[in-house]
């Protein structure tokens, strides 16, 4: 099997033989093999084992036929070496022991060298590249400063990040100091992933849709821009993803990625208009559709493809991560469907 | 003091002497008098007392100088007479004892006559009208079928309503049966409020922004439309509000309200373009801004007013409810600010 480069080609808005497909959260919980691993290891232990992370990363490539692998890692990973203590609470998500409340808390956060302190993640990157052996490219990723800042300030996942937004307005200098250190850490982490072999990177600003455009411009954009600019010389495609971003898309495009990932709450054609024709677009099937019958999946997937209109630069994906009860077979058939209807000879 | 009709006039897109202002969740938790009441009565007991609900409803009119009162009631109120048992859990919100799982659960839901089974709410409406004595109009309200359906299916507030969306796709007939009974109940409840004296109504579809446009059109729009159409003969202005609705606004306008309320995640001028010039617009200052210094509040409020551009049909409001720690004085000064800068002689 020759190397499949359609994902990287699409990121660069070049013609491809079929629209590439991958799924956020494709690695992990949907596979019985993963659930078996989870019975033997807790999440934190799993994350410490590069061989297991690599195995989990490669699984969907073989089982689903997707056109890219994405590193199996946790969005919170770079926070631990910064000095943040957190735990994963069942049914809640990450819970930070001492949320950021004042300047002292920000001053305690450490910049660090990911080649030393996250060497297990980088080792996983190398193992994945070896296991993939050029079949499909590997995407590295990191949570964006805003989303990480929300975790740090709120202490746990919340609906509207009110405390984080309040801190922005009450203590803008503290906010900027926090975003400054997070941007440096995220940039160094992503650069290290690329050095270790990641062939594209995705910056997940999952929660940024909680902000209005004025706030995004003032409190977030400078940091996203710094990260994308700081990756420019690596030459790898840079993807910027968030949810609930219908009104933020032009600003996310301004941040300087090559591709913008959009969620299911906005029509793909309108989203592409908003980000402009110079960028690629990734998305945007509602992951909840995959919990229904395949006829519904097909109907909605075809709608996404119709809105993409066969233009170069579309990467098919979900509008957010694969949900836990998603049938593996639906995902496999979805990959086939997208490849089948977009085949160009 | 003569009657202040600027809120109703603005709903009808007629010229007003000043831009009217009111705040979602203006009645209640921000006032020390309310917190004192809450020490004596739990939430459910409070809701059973029309005299206390009326007192709480009128409080912000006197204390903040807003141009409308909104009935102090709970979004879950119409569910109890339908046969739904729920409790308010501290720090969580409403938790439903037996969430909707199957057809039998929907078939058990009762339509009812609000004049009989919610007479205490209607009595509160009458008491408020008497207490206001024509000073400002009273807005009635109800949660919209989609948002109520989410509570009923998820059983508690969630981030993305995955279970509710999954039910839509898996069992569309069950979904439509649920929405059908909810739409009937909500319409009857709002009509009863108008009969009792409410001079405008707001349909809160707080969570509808979790849906993409295709889903909104198929699974929600028919029911919102039925409610607005069913209120047309009352002659009172009808407001339709949701959060995270940037991509849904044209469809929400299609549902047939007189005014669309928008949250802070979209710029007011773009939102008005999306809903079209024939409707009024309500919004949309980020409530979290009020947790910061007043200079920031002023800057952002002026931005909202600039985007409204002095056009007839703008009602100033927040982009969502007043947050618990909001300084009362900020709200009072904000009303003065909006009235001051929009004064037309």
Closest-CA residue of B relative to A170 is: B292
Q: Is A218 on the interface with B (CB under 8 A)?
A: no
Nearest CB among A246, A288, A323 relative to B247 is that of: A246
Point out the catalytic residue in the list B12, B29, B135, B311.
Answer: B29
pLDDT (0 to 100) of residue A1: 46
Active-site residue B189, yes or no?
no
How far does CA A162 lie from the centroid of its chain? Answer: 23
Euclidean distance between CA atoms B276 and A129, whole angstroms: 52
Residue A314 lies in a domain: yes
Phi, psi of B286, deg, nearest 5: -60, 120
Alpha-carbon dihedral B51, B52, B53, B54, rounded to 10 degrees: 50
Token pair belonging to A105: 């808390």
**How much is the average pLDDT of A124-140?**
97
Q: How many domains does chain A have?
A: 1
Taking CA atoms, A33 is separated from A14, A161, A332, in Å, by 36, 35, 16
| Cis peptide, bond prior to residue A42, ω within 30 of zero | no
* Contacting residues of A for B246, CB less than 8 Å apart: 246-247, 265-266
* Contacting residues of A for B214, CB less than 8 Å apart: 267, 300, 303
Whether pTM exceeds 0.80? yes
Q: Over the stretch A178-209, which tens digit does the pLDDT of each residue have? A: 999 999 999 999 999 999 999 999 999 999 99
Q: Give me the count of residues in chain B.
A: 345
**DSSP type of residue B13:** T
Q: What percent of chain A lies above the pLDDT cut of 70? A: 99
Active-site residue A151, yes or no?
yes
Q: Over the stretch B27-65, which tens digit does the pLDDT of each residue have? A: 988 999 999 999 999 888 898 999 999 999 999 999 999
Q: Nearest to residue B290, comparing CAs of B264, B316, B328?
A: B328
Point out the catalytic residue in the list A74, A258, A263, A286.
Answer: A74
Cβ–Cβ gap B212/A288 under 8 Å: no
Cβ–Cβ gap B247/A267 under 8 Å: yes
Q: Is B247 on the interface with A (CB under 8 A)?
A: yes
Query: Where does the pLDDT of residue A2 fall: very low under 50, low under 70, confident under 90, or very high at 90 and above?
Result: low
Q: Is B319 on the interface with A (CB under 8 A)?
A: yes
Q: Over the stretch A248-270, which tens digit does the pLDDT of each residue have? A: 999 999 999 999 999 999 999 99
Point out the catalytic residue in the list A6, A18, A25, A238.
Answer: A25
Core vs surface per residue A165-204: b (16+ CB within 10 A) or e = bbbbbebeebbeebbbbbbbbbbbbbbbbbebbbbbbbbb
Cβ–Cβ gap B170/A300 under 8 Å: no
How far does CA B251 lie from the centroid of its chain? Answer: 18
Point out the catalytic residue in the list A29, A126, A135, A332.
Answer: A29
Q: Over the stretch A271-315, which tens digit does the pLDDT of each residue have? A: 999 999 999 999 999 999 999 999 999 999 999 999 999 999 999
Q: What percent of chain B lies above the pLDDT cut of 70? A: 99
Active-site residue B151, yes or no?
yes
Euclidean distance between CA atoms A112 and A122, whole angstroms: 14
Q: Over the stretch B61-105, which tens digit does the pLDDT of each residue have? A: 999 999 999 999 999 999 999 999 998 888 788 899 999 999 999
The sign of the CA dihedral B168, B174, B177, B181 is negative
The H helix count followed by the E strand count for chain B is: 16, 9
Residue B1 lies in a domain: no
pLDDT (0 to 100) of residue A158: 82
Point out the catalytic residue in the list A151, A189, A216, A223.
Answer: A151
Stretch 192-211 of chain B: residues touching chain A, C-beta under 8 Å: 209-211
pLDDT (0 to 100) of residue B249: 97
Cβ–Cβ gap A212/B266 under 8 Å: yes
Point out the catalytic residue in the list B38, B126, B163, B225.
Answer: B38
**How much is the average pLDDT of A123-147?**
97
pLDDT at B1 over 50: no
Q: Nearest to residue A274, comparing CAs of A249, A240, A311?
A: A249
Residue A161 lies in a domain: yes
**How much is the average pLDDT of A16-24?**
97
Quote the ipTM score. 0.91
pLDDT (0 to 100) of residue A345: 60
Residues spanned by the domain of B183: 6-341
Residue A1 lies in a domain: no
* Contacting residues of B for A266, CB less than 8 Å apart: 212-213, 246-247
What CATH code is carried by the domain that includes residue A117? 3.20.20.210
pLDDT at B106 over 70: yes
Q: What is the 3-state secondary structure (H, E, C) of chain A?
A: CCCCCHHHHHHCCCCCCCCCECCCCCCCCCCHHHHHHHHHCCHHHHHCCHHHHHHHHHHHHHHHCCCCEECCCCCCHHHHHHCCCEEEECCCEEEECCCCCCHHHHHCCCCCCHHHHCHHHHHHHHHHHHHHCCCCCEEEEEECHHHHHHHHHHCCCCCCCHHHHHHHHHCHHHHHHHHHHHHHHHHHHHHHHHHHCCCEEEEECCCHHHCCHHHHHHHHHHHHHHHHHHHHHHCCCEEEECCCCCCCHHHHHHCCCCEEECCCCCCHHHHHHHHCCCCEEEEEECHHHHHCCHHHHHHHHHHHHHHHCCCCCEEEEECCCCCCCCCHHHHHHHHHHHHHHCCCC
Residue B240 lies in a domain: yes
Q: Over the stretch B163-211, which tens digit does the pLDDT of each residue have? A: 999 999 999 999 999 999 999 999 999 999 999 999 999 999 999 999 9
pLDDT (0 to 100) of residue A34: 93
Cβ–Cβ gap B286/A215 under 8 Å: yes
More confident call, A92 vs B57: B57
Stretch 268-287 of chain B: residues touching chain A, C-beta under 8 Å: 270, 286-287
**DSSP type of residue B197:** T
Euclidean distance between CA atoms B260 and A34, whole angstroms: 47
Residue whose entry in the numeric block shows the structure tokens 């070496």: A81
Q: Over the stretch B11-28, which tens digit does the pLDDT of each residue have? A: 999 999 999 999 999 998
Cβ–Cβ gap A169/B293 under 8 Å: yes
pLDDT (0 to 100) of residue B42: 87
pLDDT at A151 over 50: yes
Best residue of B156, B286, B323, B327 to probe chain A, by most A CBs closer than 10 Å:
B286
pLDDT (0 to 100) of residue B160: 79
**How much is the average pLDDT of B137-143?**
98
Closest-CA residue of A relative to B160 is: A159
Nearest Cα of chain B lies from the Cα of A121 at a distance, in angstroms, of 29
* Contacting residues of A for B302, CB less than 8 Å apart: none
Closest-CA residue of B relative to A171 is: B292
Euclidean distance between CA atoms B258 and B236, whole angstroms: 9
Cβ–Cβ gap A292/B168 under 8 Å: yes
* Contacting residues of B for A303, CB less than 8 Å apart: 214
Reported as half-sphere exposure (CB side, CA atoms, 13 A), residue A68 has a value of 31
pLDDT (0 to 100) of residue B2: 62
Q: Give every strand in the sheet of A280-285, ordered side by side.
A: A69-70, A138-143, A200-204, A238-241, A259-261, A280-285, A314-318
Token pair belonging to B147: 């948002």
* Contacting residues of B for A325, CB less than 8 Å apart: 166
**How much is the average pLDDT of B263-268?**
96
* Contacting residues of B for A247, CB less than 8 Å apart: 246, 265-267, 270
Token pair belonging to B313: 């049909």
Token pair belonging to B68: 């409308």
Euclidean distance between CA atoms B313 and B3, whole angstroms: 19
3 state SS of B70: strand
Nearest CB among B209, B244, B303 relative to A214 is that of: B303
**How much is the average pLDDT of A110-121?**
97
Nearest CB among A166, A288, A291 relative to B288 is that of: A166
Cβ–Cβ gap A160/B320 under 8 Å: yes
pLDDT (0 to 100) of residue A186: 98
pLDDT (0 to 100) of residue B217: 97
The sign of the CA dihedral A67, A73, A76, A79 is negative
Active-site residue A226, yes or no?
no
Active-site residue B29, yes or no?
yes
**DSSP type of residue B155:** S
Q: Is B244 on the interface with A (CB under 8 A)?
A: yes
Q: Is A215 on the interface with B (CB under 8 A)?
A: yes
pLDDT at B159 over 90: no
């Amino acid at each position: 099997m020759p190397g499949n480069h359609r994902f990287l080609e699409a990121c660069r808005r070049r013609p491809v033989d079929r629209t590439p497909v991958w799924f956020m959260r494709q690695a992990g919980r949907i596979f019985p093999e993963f659930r078996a691993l989870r019975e033997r290891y807790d999440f934190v232990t799993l994350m410490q084992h590069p061989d297991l992370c690599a195995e989990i990363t490669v699984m969907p490539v073989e089982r689903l036929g997707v056109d890219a692998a994405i590193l199996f890692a946790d969005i919170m990973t770079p926070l631990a070496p910064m000095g943040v203590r957190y735990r994963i609470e069942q049914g809640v998500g990450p819970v930070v022991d001492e949320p950021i409340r004042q300047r002292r808390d920000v001053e305690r956060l450490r910049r660090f060298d990911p080649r030393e302190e996250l060497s297990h993640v980088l080792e996983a990157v190398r193992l994945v590249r070896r296991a993939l052996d050029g079949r499909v490219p590997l995407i590295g990723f990191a949570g964006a400063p805003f989303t990480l800042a929300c975790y740090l300030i709120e202490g746990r996942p919340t609906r509207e990040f009110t405390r984080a937004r309040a801190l922005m307005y009450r203590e803008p200098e503290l906010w900027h100091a926090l975003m400054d250190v997070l941007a440096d850490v995220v940039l160094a982490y992503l650069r290290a992933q690329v050095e270790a072999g990641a062939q594209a990177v995705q910056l997940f600003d999952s929660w940024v849709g909680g902000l209005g455009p004025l706030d995004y411009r003032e409190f977030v954009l400078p940091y996203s821009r710094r990260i994308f600019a700081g990756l420019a010389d690596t030459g790898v495609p840079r993807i910027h993803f968030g949810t609930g971003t219908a009104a933020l898309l032009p600003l996310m495009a301004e941040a300087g990625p090559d591709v913008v990932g959009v969620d299911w709450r906005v029509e793909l054609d309108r989203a592409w208009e908003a980000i402009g024709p110079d960028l690629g677009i990734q998305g945007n099937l509602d992951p909840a559709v995959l919990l229904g019958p395949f006829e519904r999946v097909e109907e909605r997937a075809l709608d996404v493809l119709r809105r993409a209109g066969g233009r170069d630069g579309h990467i098919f994906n979900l509008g957010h991560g694969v949900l836990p009860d998603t049938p593996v077979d639906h995902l496999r058939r979805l990959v086939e469907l997208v490849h089948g209807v977009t085949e160009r000879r």
